[in-house]
Structure 1
Amino acid sequence: MDPITTVPFARTSRHKPRRWPLALRFIKGAIHGAIVLPVVLHAAFAVLIVALDHNVRNLGLPPSIIPSLSIVVGLMLVFRHQTSYNRFWDGQNHLTVIITSVRNLTRSFLANSHRFPLADRVETDRIIRILIAILYATKNHLRAGWGPAIIPDPAINPSTGDATSIPEYSDLLPRGLYGCDDRGLGLVLQLTFFVEQYIKKGTDNGWFHAPQASQMQVQLNNMVDAYGKMETIRLTSVPVAHLIHQKQVLALFGGVLPFALVDQMDYWAIPVVMLVMFTLYGIDAIASQLEDPFGYDRTDIKMDFIVEDIRSEISVLLEEWKKAGEPGYEMFVGRRQGAGAGGRGRIDHANHANGAS
C-alpha cells in the first residue's frame, strides 16, 4: 500500500524513492570526496612498503602491534563521533523548542484577538509575521547570514521601493526597521522586543489575564534560551589539540598498518590498508560535518525546509484568523472552496462533524 501524501511537512518529507541502495551511493550525501586524498596516500605508501619488502629487505613488524594502536584509534573516533552527533541532535531539539514556542504564541495571540477592533487586529497580524521572521532570523544568524541593515519604508523614502537585502523578510518585518547586526545585536533578540511589548500591551488592555501573559512570557524565554544554546553549538568548536592528535594518530596507524600486514598478506596488504583507512577516515569526516549541523550539507539539519513548512502552517492560521473576524464566520468552521493544492474540493466542516457524531 502506497503511503498517503499529506500537505504538512511537504518540503521536509521525502518524495522520491531511493533508486540505488545506500551501499552503492558515492556522490550525493556521501563523504567520499573528503577522504579520497588521505586514503589514496595511504594506499600509495602501502605499495611502497610492499615493493621494498619484496626487492630490498624484509620490513615486516609483529602483527601484535595492531591491536594496541586500534584500541586508541577506536576510542578517539567513538568519542569524536558521539560528541558530534550530540551536537546535531541537540541542535535539532533546540530548533524544535523555538518552533514550538512560535506555535504556542501564535495560537494564544490569534485565539484571544479574533474579535479585536481593526487597529488591534492589524497589530496582531504584524506580531505574527514577526514570529515567522524570528525563525528565518535564527536560521540566517546560525549561518552567519546577518539580517538586513534596514527594511525600507516607501512612505518615508519612496526611492528605496520594496527592496530588501534578504527577500525572506520582505513581508514579515515592520517597515523602517533598522537591523543592528553591524553593532553586535542579532536580529533574533531584536525581534523578541516586539513580542514582549505586544504581551505587555495585551496585559495592560485586558486582552490577556495575568497567568496567561505569564505563560506567554515563558514561551518567549524558552525561545531565547534555545536560540542561545544553538549559538553555543555553532560557536564552540572541538578543541584544536584533540583534532591535531586525532589526525596524527590516524596517520600513524595508517603508516604502521602496512608493516604489520606485509609478511602475512603480501600484495593483499594494499587493498586491506585502503579498506581500513577508508573506514576510519570516513568516520572522522562524518563527525566533522555533524559538528556544525546548521549549514548547507546534506547531513545538516534541513532548516530551510523546516522553516518554510512552519511558515506555511502559520500563514494558514493567520488567514483563517482573518476570516474569523468576518460576520458569521468562525475559525475552522464553515464551508470553504478548494481545500488546498491537492484539489480536495469543497469541505463542509459542519456536515463532517455532524456525520461523525
Structure 2
Amino acid sequence: MDSSVSSLTQYGSFRKPTFPLSNSCRHKPRRWPLALRFIKGAIHHVILVPILLHTLFTCIIVYIHINIQTLSVPANIVPSLSIVVGLMLVFRNSSSYDRYWGGRTNLQSIGTSVRNLTRSFLVCGPDRDEADRKETEKVVKVLVGMLYAVKNHLRSTWGHGYLLPEYKGLLPEGMYGFESEGVGLVLELAVVVERYIKRGVDRGAFNAPQSSMLSSQLNALVDAYGKMETIKLTPIPIAHQIHQKQVLALYCCVLPFCLVDELGWLCVPIICLICFMLYGIEGIGEEIEDPFGSDKNDIKIDAIIEDLRQEVSVLLDSWRRGGEEYTI
C-alpha cells in the first residue's frame, strides 16, 4: 500500500488532473431547461426566414379575406396533405439520424482499433534494443495521428506537418504525404503501421495468429474510416430535398386558406406555430445530415480524439519508464 502511494506521488505530480472521457463528457449541468433554449444548439436561426415569410403571407391572406373578398377553401383537404408531409419528414429525420449514429459508431470502431493496436504493440512489440523501442513508440504515435487524419479528411482539411500543429510529434519525421496527388493521409499511415507489423513478424515478436489479429484490427480501422467517408460523400438525394421543401412550403401556404374563415386573425399565430414545428423538424434533419463538423449538433470528434490521445499518452509514458507496476 505504501509503495503504491509513493508511486502515485512520484509520477502523478507532473500529470494534469483528468478522468476517462473528460473531454467528451458534459462538464456542467444545464442552467436553463432545453425548452427555453433558443441559441446554443438550437436550429431557430435556420428556420427563422421561412417562418417569417409564411407569417407575412398569412397576414396578407387574412387581410384580403376580411376586407376585400373571401379566400377560404374547404378544410377537409388538410388531412390528406398532412399525411404526405408527415411521411416525408419522418423519412428525412430517420435517414439523417441513421447517418449521425453511423458516424458515431464508426468513430468508436476506429478508437477501439487504436486502443487494441496500442496495447498489443506496447506489450508484444519488438523489444530487443533501443531502436526497436523507438520504432514501437513511433508507430503508437502514428496511431494517434491516424485519428486526427480521419477527422481532417472528413472535414476536408488537407495538409499536415507545419500546417496543422495537432500532428506535431505524431507523424514520421520527413513525411509530407500525397494528399495533393489524391491519397488520403489515413491510408498512408496505415501502410506505416502494416510495415511495423511485418517487421515484428520478421523479428519473431509476433507469431502468425498475432499478426493476423493485428492486421484485422488495422483493416477494421480502415473499414470504419471508409464507412465514415461514405456518409460524408453520399448526401440525401437532391431530388428528395427539393420535393420535400416544395411540399412543406405548399402545405404551409395552403393552411391559411383552410383556417382563415374559422379563425380570422387568430390564424396568424397558429400558422406561425405550425411552421415553427414543421420547419424545425426539417431543419434538424439538415443539421445532422453531415455529422462531422464542429458545431453543437455534430459528433464531438475533437473531444473524443483528445480523450483517446490522453489514454494512449499515459500508456506510452508508462511503457517508456519500463515498469510493469505502472500499468494495469
Shorter-normalised TM range: over 0.9
Deviation at 1:178, TM superposition (A): 2.0
Counterpart pick for 1:33 among 45, 48, 57: 45
* Structure-1 residue corresponding to 2:217: 219
Q: Map 1:103-142; keep pairs closer than 5 Å.
A: 103-113=115-125, 115-142=127-154
Deviation at 1:75, TM superposition (A): 0.2
Three-state SS of the structure 2 residue aligned to 1:64 is helix
* Structure-1 residue corresponding to 2:11: none
Structure with the bigger RCO (C-alpha within 8 Å, sep 6+) is: 2
* Structure-2 residue corresponding to 1:267: 265
Assess if the C-alpha contact under 8 Å between 1:35 and 1:281 holds in 2: yes
Please give the per-residue CA displacement for 1:244-288, whole angstroms capped at 9, x wherever unaligned: 101100110011000000111111110110000111111111100
* Structure-1 residue corresponding to 2:9: none
Greater CA drift, 111-120 or 215-224:
111-120
Counterpart pick for 1:20 among 13, 32, 41: 32
For 1:169, the aligned partner's letter is: Y
Counterpart pick for 1:296 among 294, 297, 300: 294
Three-state SS of the structure 1 residue aligned to 2:245 is helix
Question: Is residue 256 from structure 1 mapped to residue 254 from structure 2 by the alignment?
Answer: yes
Three-state SS of the structure 1 residue aligned to 2:304 is helix
* Structure-2 residue corresponding to 1:194: 192
Counterpart pick for 2:238 among 233, 237, 240: 240
TM-score (norm 1): 0.85
* Structure-2 residue corresponding to 1:332: 326
Stretches of 4+ moved more than 6 A in 1? Answer: none
Assess if the C-alpha contact under 8 Å between 2:150 and 2:225 holds in 1: yes
Counterpart pick for 1:55 among 61, 67, 79: 67
CA distance in 2, matches of 1:113, 1:259: 74
Question: Is residue 45 from structure 1 mapped to residue 57 from structure 2 by the alignment?
Answer: yes
For 1:193, the aligned partner's letter is: V
Deviation at 1:57, TM superposition (A): 1.2
Greater helix content: 2
Assess if the C-alpha contact under 8 Å between 1:91 and 1:293 holds in 2: yes
Assess if the C-alpha contact under 8 Å between 1:323 and 1:331 holds in 2: no
Deviation at 1:323, TM superposition (A): 1.0
Three-state SS of the structure 2 residue aligned to 1:174 is coil
Cα–Cα, structure 1 residues 114 and 190, in superposed 2: closer, same or farther, change >3 Å? closer
**Percentage of identical aligned residues:** 55
Three-state SS of the structure 2 residue aligned to 1:172 is coil
Three-state SS of the structure 2 residue aligned to 1:9 is coil
Assess if the C-alpha contact under 8 Å between 2:145 and 2:167 holds in 1: yes
* Structure-1 residue corresponding to 2:4: none
Assess if the C-alpha contact under 8 Å between 2:58 and 2:268 holds in 1: yes
Deviation at 1:113, TM superposition (A): 3.5
* Structure-2 residue corresponding to 1:318: 316
Deviation at 1:147, TM superposition (A): 2.8
Q: Map 1:174-213; keep pairs closer than 5 Å.
A: 174-213=172-211
Three-state SS of the structure 1 residue aligned to 2:26 is coil
CA distance in 2, matches of 1:29, 1:146: 27
Question: Is residue 64 from structure 1 mapped to residue 76 from structure 2 by the alignment?
Answer: yes
* Structure 1 alignment gaps of length 5 or more: 152-163, 334-348, 350-357
For 1:236, the aligned partner's letter is: T
Deviation at 1:58, TM superposition (A): 1.2
* Structure-1 residue corresponding to 2:6: none
* Structure 2 alignment gaps of length 5 or more: 1-16
TM-score (norm 2): 0.93
CA distance in 1, matches of 2:175, 2:37: 47
RMSD over equivalenced CA pairs, Å: 1.3
* Structure-2 residue corresponding to 1:95: 107
* Structure-2 residue corresponding to 1:161: none
CA distance in 2, matches of 1:212, 1:147: 34
Please give the per-residue CA displacement for 1:148-174, whole angstroms capped at 9, x wherever unaligned: 2xx4xxxxxxxxxxxx11101111011
Assess if the C-alpha contact under 8 Å between 1:137 and 1:147 holds in 2: no
Three-state SS of the structure 1 residue aligned to 2:112 is helix
Assess if the C-alpha contact under 8 Å between 1:320 and 1:331 holds in 2: no
For 1:235, the aligned partner's letter is: L
